[in-house]
């Protein structure tokens, strides 16, 4: 579509999943299916019901204030984009070190780009951030248009990342079994255990190692403070996982003194039955260099093969500077699928940009 768009007909409307009508949901699903075809046509797509449930959950997040918007073309009543911004609640354990921060996400169908709609959305984002006294804005994307847009706003690329994918047919299972065996041989005093929900006796300690290693991940230039993982968050995530019919698997390595020395987690979503997501892997500093990362990850792959034989792709996200994780992933056969960035800018700089283009 190359015709001009009258921005007066474009409406950015806050959307509360609790109050969305059936017809509005239909318009939303039409939008996200077109978007999926544009960006990930070869990947499985989530079904309508679970998308609705997930957005309900997101809008009631216990740690963060999440505002969702749809971008509507009033000439044909179509949803042509969406927008989201997120700030931590004052009651969140992560608030103290992140009270300056607002994350946002913005996405338009391809036909509606380069017509000023993104800039229009940024004005709304700016006004909200100003009202909430936020000084730093962060957004992530793996699309070229998004990267160029963020650059033109004056945002700096603060972290580069990749979505890595492993084709199951390419896995060298002999190597996987070998690493698994070596893991045990190098740490005969330790054991590994699998959890689908985290048991009450270890939840506090698990939150400590999770928080510690999560915050040790390379964050580049991102001005992000400590993110604190709490038992309440774990229980909240577990409840959502169960409601969505998903499975969250965690392997932990436990030392003879009872310490949790490491963990790795995967999420399986039955709607995307051929794909599984490898989430965080963390080993405490004092236990590194003993092959625990390899042991945990190969235990998980062996479990995946047994429990989800229909899975043919493992997907995971890595910072491009995360050498230890990339070293394990490269040898397992992960390959770059998409290259992404997290960009950040000060509110002041965004304000100057918006003022300049208004003139
Ligand atoms: C990001 C996005 C919403 C931008 O929306 P948009 O309506 O096209 O943005 P605008 O028309 O307001 O663009 C403003 C300026 O950004 C720059 N820009 C935007 N897209 C660009 C591109 N593909 N290449 C070069 N510059 C670009 C230009 O300077 C543009 O002004 P100009 O067209 O007058 O030259 C859209 O590209 C998109 O949906 N991308 C996919 C999702 C995404 O990656 N989001 C980024 C995270 S927020």
Is the CA virtual torsion 75, 76, 77, 80 positive or negative? negative
pLDDT at 159: 96
Query: Which of 145, 148, 155, 357, when mutated, tests ligand 1's pocket best, judged by the most ligand atoms within 8 Å of its CB?
Result: 145
Q: Which domain holds residue 224?
A: 163-340
Question: Does ligand 1 lie within 6 Å of residue 107's CB atom?
Answer: yes
Question: Is residue 150 domain-resident?
Answer: no
β partners of residue 313 = 167, 275
Q: Which ligand 1 atom is nearest residue 122's CA? A: 12
Q: Same structural domain for residues 83 and 167?
A: no
Question: Does ligand 1 lie within 6 Å of residue 344's CB atom?
Answer: no
Question: Does ligand 1 lie within 6 Å of residue 119's CB atom?
Answer: yes
Question: Is residue 332 domain-resident?
Answer: yes
Q: Which ligand 1 atom is nearest residue 343's CA? A: 47
Mean pLDDT by 10 residues, the chain (359 residues): 80 95 96 98 95 96 97 97 98 97 98 97 98 98 98 96 96 97 95 97 98 94 96 97 97 97 98 96 95 96 98 95 90 96 98 92
Residue nearest (by alpha carbon) to ligand 1 atom 5: 118
Q: Same structural domain for residues 201 and 325?
A: yes
Question: Does ligand 1 lie within 6 Å of residue 118's CB atom?
Answer: yes
Question: Is residue 347 domain-resident?
Answer: no
Q: Same structural domain for residues 222 and 336?
A: yes
Question: Does ligand 1 lie within 6 Å of residue 152's CB atom?
Answer: yes
Q: Same structural domain for residues 177 and 294?
A: yes
Q: Same structural domain for residues 335 and 199?
A: yes
Cα distance between residue 192 and residue 292, in whole Å: 10
Question: Does ligand 1 lie within 6 Å of residue 262's CB atom?
Answer: no
Question: Is residue 139 domain-resident?
Answer: no
Q: Is the pTM of this model over 0.85?
A: yes
**Tally of CB atoms within 10 A around 32:** 16
Cα–ligand 1 centroid distance for 164 (angstroms): 25
Question: Does ligand 1 lie within 6 Å of residue 115's CB atom?
Answer: yes
Q: What is the DSSP string of 329-356?
A: HHHHT-EEEEEEEEEEEEHHHHHHHHHH
Q: What is the DSSP string of 135-196?
A: -EEEEEE-SHHHHHHHHHHT-EEEEEEEEEEEEGGG--HHHHHHHHHHHHHH-TT-EEEEES
Q: Same structural domain for residues 205 and 86?
A: no
Q: Same structural domain for residues 217 and 276?
A: yes
Question: Is residue 331 domain-resident?
Answer: yes
* Main-chain dihedrals φ then ψ at residue 44, nearest 5 degrees: -65, 155
3-class SS at 74?
coil
Question: Is residue 248 domain-resident?
Answer: yes
Q: Which ligand 1 atom is nearest residue 120's CA? A: 12
Tell me how long the chain is. 359
Q: Same structural domain for residues 219 and 286?
A: yes
- What domain count does the chain have? 2
Residue nearest (by alpha carbon) to ligand 1 atom 4: 118
Query: Which of 4, 69, 116, 149, when mutated, tests ligand 1's pocket best, judged by the most ligand atoms within 8 Å of its CB?
Result: 149
Cα–ligand 1 centroid distance for 113 (angstroms): 6
Q: Same structural domain for residues 112 and 181?
A: no
Residue nearest (by alpha carbon) to ligand 1 atom 25: 148
CATH of the domain at 63: 3.40.630.30
pLDDT at 358: 84
Q: What is the DSSP string of 277-322?
A: EEEEEEE-GGGTTSSHHHHHHHHHHHHHHHH-TT--EEEEEEETT-
- Of 13, 18, 148, the C-alpha closest to 72 is 13
Beta-carbon contacts of residue 346 (< 8 Å; ≥ 6 apart): 135, 136, 137
Q: Same structural domain for residues 94 and 211?
A: no
Question: Does ligand 1 lie within 6 Å of residue 105's CB atom?
Answer: yes
Range 149-154, long-range pairs (CB < 8 A, 24+ positions): 149/118, 150/341, 150/343, 150/345, 151/343, 153/122, 153/345, 153/349, 153/350, 153/353, 154/345, 154/349, 154/350, 154/352, 154/353
Question: Does ligand 1 lie within 6 Å of residue 149's CB atom?
Answer: yes
Residue nearest (by alpha carbon) to ligand 1 atom 23: 145
Cα distance between residue 137 and residue 142, in whole Å: 17
Q: Same structural domain for residues 129 and 169?
A: no
Residue nearest (by alpha carbon) to ligand 1 atom 22: 145
Q: Same structural domain for residues 117 and 226?
A: no
Question: Does ligand 1 lie within 6 Å of residue 75's CB atom?
Answer: no
pLDDT at 134: 98
Question: Is residue 273 domain-resident?
Answer: yes
Question: Is residue 61 domain-resident?
Answer: yes
Beta-carbon contacts of residue 195 (< 8 Å; ≥ 6 apart): 249, 250, 251, 252
Residue nearest (by alpha carbon) to ligand 1 atom 46: 146
Cα–ligand 1 centroid distance for 148 (angstroms): 6
Residue with tokens 């579509």: 1
């Amino acid at each position: 579509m190359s015709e001009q768009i009258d921005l007066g007909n474009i409406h950015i409307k806050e959307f509360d999943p609790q109050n969305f009508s059936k017809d509005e949901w239909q318009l939303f699903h039409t939008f996200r299916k077109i978007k999926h075809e544009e960006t990930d046509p070869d990947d499985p797509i989530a079904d309508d019901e679970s998308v609705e449930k997930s957005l309900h959950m997101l809008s009631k997040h216990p740690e963060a204030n999440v505002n969702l918007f749809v971008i509507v073309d009033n000439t044909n009543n179509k949803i042509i984009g969406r927008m989201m911004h997120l700030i931590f609640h004052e009651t969140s354990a992560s608030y103290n070190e992140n009270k300056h921060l607002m994350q946002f996400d913005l996405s338009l169908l391809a036909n509606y780009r380069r017509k000023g709609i993104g800039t229009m959305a940024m004005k709304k984002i700016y006004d909200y951030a100003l009202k909430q006294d936020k000084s730093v804005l962060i957004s992530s994307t793996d699309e070229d248009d998004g990267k160029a847009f963020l650059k033109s706003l004056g945002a700096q690329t603060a972290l580069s990342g990749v979505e890595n994918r492993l084709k199951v047919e390419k896995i060298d299972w002999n190597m996987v079994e070998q690493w698994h065996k070596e893991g045990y041989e190098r740490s005969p005093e330790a054991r590994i255990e699998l959890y689908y929900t985290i048991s009450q006796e270890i939840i506090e300690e698990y939150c400590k190692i999770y928080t510690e290693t999560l915050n040790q991940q390379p964050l580049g230039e991102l001005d992000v403070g400590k993110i604190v993982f709490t038992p309440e968050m774990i229980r909240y995530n577990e409840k959502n996982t169960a409601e969505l019919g998903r499975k969250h698997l965690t392997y932990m390595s436990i030392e003879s003194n009872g310490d949790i020395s490491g963990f790795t987690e995967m999420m399986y979503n039955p709607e995307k039955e051929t794909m599984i997501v490898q989430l965080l892997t963390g080993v405490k500093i004092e236990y590194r260099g003993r092959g625990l990362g390899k042991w945990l990850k190969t235990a998980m792959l062996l479990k995946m093969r047994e429990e989800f034989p229909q899975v043919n792709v493992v997907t995971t996200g890595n910072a491009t500077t995360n050498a230890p994780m990339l070293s394990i992933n490269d040898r397992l056969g992960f390959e770059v699928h998409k290259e992404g960035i997290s960009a950040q800018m000060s509110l002041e700089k965004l304000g100057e940009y918006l003022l300049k283009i208004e003139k």
